[in-house]
Structure 1
Amino acid sequence: MANRGGYDAVVDVDAEGDLGHTDLNDDLEFHNSNFDSNPNGRKVQPDTTFLTPSGRANGGSSSSSSKRFLWSISFYQQFFDVDTSQILHRCRSALYPRALFLDVMEGNPDLYGPFWIATTVVVILFMTGTISQYLQTADRGYYAYDFKLLSGAAGLIYGYTLFIPLALWAVLKWFGSEGANVLELWALYGYGNLIWIPVALVSWSPLSILNYAFTAAGLVLSAGFLMRNLYPIITAIDAKRPTSSVIIVGVVLLHAGLAIAIKILFFAHGSPAAKVPAGDDSS
């Protein structure tokens, strides 16, 4: 007989098969119904654990977000569910870190801040690279904008912010780390790009030594921000110290490569990313 309360009634019959002398209060047991679980006919929710925070309190958002399908708009809306005060607080925490940034996000990483920060860096790199090129050709009386600088900045910043955290997550996952998911790493690297905005704004100077100093300062600050947050995660993957050390060195070298690329492509006269005007034999 079906029970409306979501339970199955199970009658415990004694060895003699006699119900007449049994106490139904003792012999009736109620178990959770499994009517809702139909492995043959119901759709299975997609595995979205790689995008849900792990190891930190998330206010119960992971259970609700896992029920949203990857191909639905609502699934991606949750990654942009932040307000202005949260964005400003995270930006301040990235520039002046007083606590672990993964704790500052409180289990609610976003892609809104990283996207606009990366876009701002791309635009400012294009502007400062254009100014640097203009100062080189100012004596000719003309200057033609080279939008290869813009595409070069977009490819460098977007590519680094998207693929390096993804590769790092894959490596950590391979070694069994559950310290951070790919969304948190995207947010970490995205907000870490914030330091390049003030660096780019002051690195259009024709004095190369100043550009090197500003780039070095940006590298130290941004790499320190990343290591402050990634070091506890990386060193906890296993007991083999060399494995953790190799990953840390790889992260630092890749970030140093980003800084060197920014310096060479945008903070120097005669950038390889810029188009050399016809008739210019200065190179």
Structure 2
Amino acid sequence: MDQQSAILELDNALAIDMSGADLNTGSAANELQFKDYPREASGSSNLLPIGSKQNFANSRGDDGPTDENEDAGLMANNTKTKAPASFWQLNYFSQYFNVTTQDVLARILWSVLPIKSATGANYIERHIQNNADIYGPFWINVTLIFSIAIFGNIANYLSTSGEQDSWHNDWNKLGLAASSVFSYTLFVPVLLWFFFWFRGCTITYTLFEIICAYGYSLSVYIPISFLWIIEIRLLQYILVIVGAFLSGSVLTMSFAPIVNSDPSQTFKTSYFMLLLIIGLHSLIAFSFLFYFF
């Protein structure tokens, strides 16, 4: 009996140990299974995957910027506007060279066509206003200076039949042509702009818009200077008159609204200024013809 009871007690002990092992094994397996943890509304950093920006920042002991903050910072830096350049800085004049080849060609073409648009806009309002450039007027002036000096010497050579005793190459005309062309393009617009400002005209253009219009108005004299080589004085006069009338009419039509906006409008200020504009434009052309040709 004692031996059988001992065997039964041993079997019971082994059964208890096996049941405990099964329970332990089940609990261990349960512990190894993945569990779903609910996300907190505040977005706890412990729930972020390893390697994320916020978890990496927390590992260093700081909060670190979130993606939204970084994007907002980049957008703020990109949207910062630079302060406008002053007049004496070179960057200020970069806006007056922002022009395409098509714009320059269109402004040259319409500077000799005294035609208003369907809406009644004149040459400056339609092609130059709010986008005046210096690029086109500068190269038009330079081209006109060289064309007058070169073709003037050629015309003098043809008039003397190439005789060395009565003809010589006069390059001093180049400096005179440069001074006259640039003076006309700069000083006349400055005087007009000052006069309109002094009279208190309600409609006006900026100084650079007036300079731009006058620079393009001289483009008509470049092909005319080439035709001045022909030694027919009557033809030369006709070319001067036609060129001055076409481009001068464009200027007159462009400045007519400003003259008419003079609050103390009289006959002198309204008509005399328009006659002065086309008169000066014709005078510069006749001076080219009489001195250089």
TM-score, with structure 1 as normaliser: 0.67
* 1:129-153 deviation per Cα after TM superposition (whole angstroms, max 9, x unaligned): 1111111332524643211111121
1:253 corresponds, among 270, 279, 288, to 279
Describe the SS at the equivalent of 2:160. Answer: helix
* 1:20-61 deviation per Cα after TM superposition (whole angstroms, max 9, x unaligned): xxxxxxxxxxxxxxxxxxxxxxxxxxxxxxxxxxxxxxxxxx
Aligned to 1:262: 288
Shift of 1:65: 10
Q: Matched residues in 2 for 1:252 and 1:89: separation? A: 22
Aligned to 2:85: 68
| 1:96 maps to 2:113 | yes
Aligned to 1:193: 218
Aligned to 1:222: 247
Q: Matched residues in 1 for 2:239 and 2:153: separation? A: 18
Q: Matched residues in 2 for 1:206 and 1:114: separation? A: 29
Structure 1 pair 155/91, CA: closer, same or farther in 2 (3 Å)? Answer: same
Point out where structure 1 has 5 or more consecutive residues left out of the alignment.
1-63, 268-283
Aligned to 1:82: 99
| 1:241 maps to 2:266 | yes
Describe the SS at the equivalent of 1:238. Answer: coil
Shift of 1:255: 1.8
Structure 1 pair 247/106, CA: closer, same or farther in 2 (3 Å)? Answer: closer
Q: Matched residues in 2 for 1:95 and 1:209: separation? A: 22
Q: Contact (CA 8 Å) 2:113, 2:250: kept in 1 or not?
A: no
Describe the SS at the equivalent of 1:128. Answer: helix
The one-letter code sitting in structure 2 at the alignment partner of 1:211 is Q
The one-letter code sitting in structure 2 at the alignment partner of 1:86 is D
Structure 1 pair 74/206, CA: closer, same or farther in 2 (3 Å)? Answer: same
Aligned to 1:149: 173
Structure 1 pair 147/211, CA: closer, same or farther in 2 (3 Å)? Answer: same
Aligned to 2:76: none
| 1:184 maps to 2:201 | no
1:132 corresponds, among 151, 155, 167, to 155
Q: Contact (CA 8 Å) 1:126, 1:153: kept in 2 or not?
A: yes
Aligned length: 204
Q: Contact (CA 8 Å) 1:235, 1:244: kept in 2 or not?
A: yes
The one-letter code sitting in structure 2 at the alignment partner of 1:111 is I
Max Rg structure: 2
Identity of aligned residues (%): 27
Q: Matched residues in 1 for 2:231 and 2:93: separation? A: 44
Q: Contact (CA 8 Å) 1:161, 1:189: kept in 2 or not?
A: yes
Shift of 1:266: 2.0
Shift of 1:92: 2.0
Q: Contact (CA 8 Å) 1:235, 1:241: kept in 2 or not?
A: no
Q: Contact (CA 8 Å) 1:169, 1:182: kept in 2 or not?
A: yes
Structure 1 pair 205/92, CA: closer, same or farther in 2 (3 Å)? Answer: same
User: What is the root-mean-square deviation of aligned Cα atoms in Å?
Assistant: 2.0
Q: Matched residues in 2 for 1:203 and 1:117: separation? A: 18
The one-letter code sitting in structure 1 at the alignment partner of 2:112 is L
The one-letter code sitting in structure 2 at the alignment partner of 1:250 is L
Shift of 1:97: 4.7
Describe the SS at the equivalent of 2:111. Answer: helix
| 1:105 maps to 2:133 | no
Q: Matched residues in 1 for 2:193 and 2:82: separation? A: 20
Aligned to 2:48: none
Q: Matched residues in 1 for 2:113 and 2:272: separation? A: 28
Q: Matched residues in 1 for 2:204 and 2:154: separation? A: 43
Point out where structure 2 has 5 or more consecutive residues left out of the alignment.
1-80
Q: Contact (CA 8 Å) 2:114, 2:253: kept in 1 or not?
A: no
Shift of 1:253: 2.3
Aligned to 1:118: 141
Aligned to 1:210: 235
Shift of 1:218: 1.1
Q: Contact (CA 8 Å) 2:145, 2:178: kept in 1 or not?
A: yes
Shift of 1:239: 4.0
* 1:218-246 deviation per Cα after TM superposition (whole angstroms, max 9, x unaligned): 11112111111111111212242222222
Shift of 1:163: 0.5
